């Protein structure tokens, strides 16, 4: 009865942006990013990628409700970079890392299959 429509998993209403950026009113250099259609996969990855940045003082994520397909990522920086820059860097770094990992994986598969023959 309360099951959300499957389509909500894949598409956003036309007036909603994929990522909403909300500045924290109580603290400086702090912001919340509401990421729609994302879950723990991206949330956890970004959290730990952000924590590797020495300019990031805090980062955490939560999924406010299991039936809503969104996560909230909170980022707090020391002011040298903005939370937005930090979040973007985290995404870019992960992207590069996964490209490298994919290359490494494909090479290993090739090598393994070559050995077999």
Partner 1 sequence: MTDQYGRGLRAPVIEILDIGRYTIKFLLKECHISIANALRRIMIADVPTMAIDLVYINDNSSVLHDEFLSHRLGLIPFKSDTVDSYEFFRECSCKPSCHKCSVEFNLRETALDDVKDITTDHINANNPDCLVKPVKYINADGNEEDPILIVKLAKNQKVDIQCIVRKGTGKEHAKWSPVATVQVQQMPQIDISPSLEEDLDTEEKIGLVNSCPASVYKLNAEKQTVDIETITDCHQCQECTIYLENLNKKNDLLKVGQHEDHFIFTVESTGALPPEEIVSKAFTILIDKMSELSQCTEESDAKD
CA distance 77 to 32: 12
- Smallest gap, in angstroms, from Cβ of residue 1 to partner 1? 19
Which among 37, 42, 39 is positioned nearest to 7, based on CA atoms? 37
86 near 56, Cβ under 8 Å? yes
Which among 103, 99, 94, 98 is positioned nearest to 73, based on CA atoms? 94
Q: Tell me which of 4, 9, 58, 60 binds partner 1, using CB under 8 A.
A: 9
Does 93 bind partner 1 (CB under 8 A)? Our answer is: yes
Residue with tokens 């490494």: 104
Does 45 bind partner 1 (CB under 8 A)? Our answer is: yes
- The two counts, helices (H) then strands (E), for the chain are 2, 4
Does 15 bind partner 1 (CB under 8 A)? Our answer is: no
Which among 29, 40, 88, 91 is positioned nearest to 64, based on CA atoms? 40
Does 98 bind partner 1 (CB under 8 A)? Our answer is: yes
Per-residue interface string for the shown chain with partner 1, residues 25-44, x marking contact by CB under 8 A: x-----x-x-x--xxxxx-x
Does 88 bind partner 1 (CB under 8 A)? Our answer is: yes
Give me the residues that bind partner 1 (CB under 8 A), please: 6-7, 9-11, 17-23, 25, 31, 33, 35, 38-42, 44-49, 52-55, 84, 87-89, 91-102, 104-106, 108-109, 111-113, 116
């Amino acid at each position: 009865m309360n099951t959300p429509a499957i389509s909500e998993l894949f598409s956003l209403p036309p007036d909603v942006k994929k990522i909403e950026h909300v500045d924290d009113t109580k603290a400086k250099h702090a912001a919340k990013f509401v990421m729609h259609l994302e879950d723990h996969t991206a949330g956890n990855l970004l959290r730990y990628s952000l924590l590797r940045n020495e300019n990031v003082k805090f980062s955490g994520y939560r999924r406010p409700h299991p039936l809503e397909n969104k996560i909230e990522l909170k980022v707090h920086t020391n002011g040298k970079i903005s939370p937005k820059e930090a979040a973007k860097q985290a995404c870019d770094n992960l992207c590069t890392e996964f490209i490298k990992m994919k290359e490494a994986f494909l090479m290993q598969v090739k090598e393994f299959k070559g050995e077999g023959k």
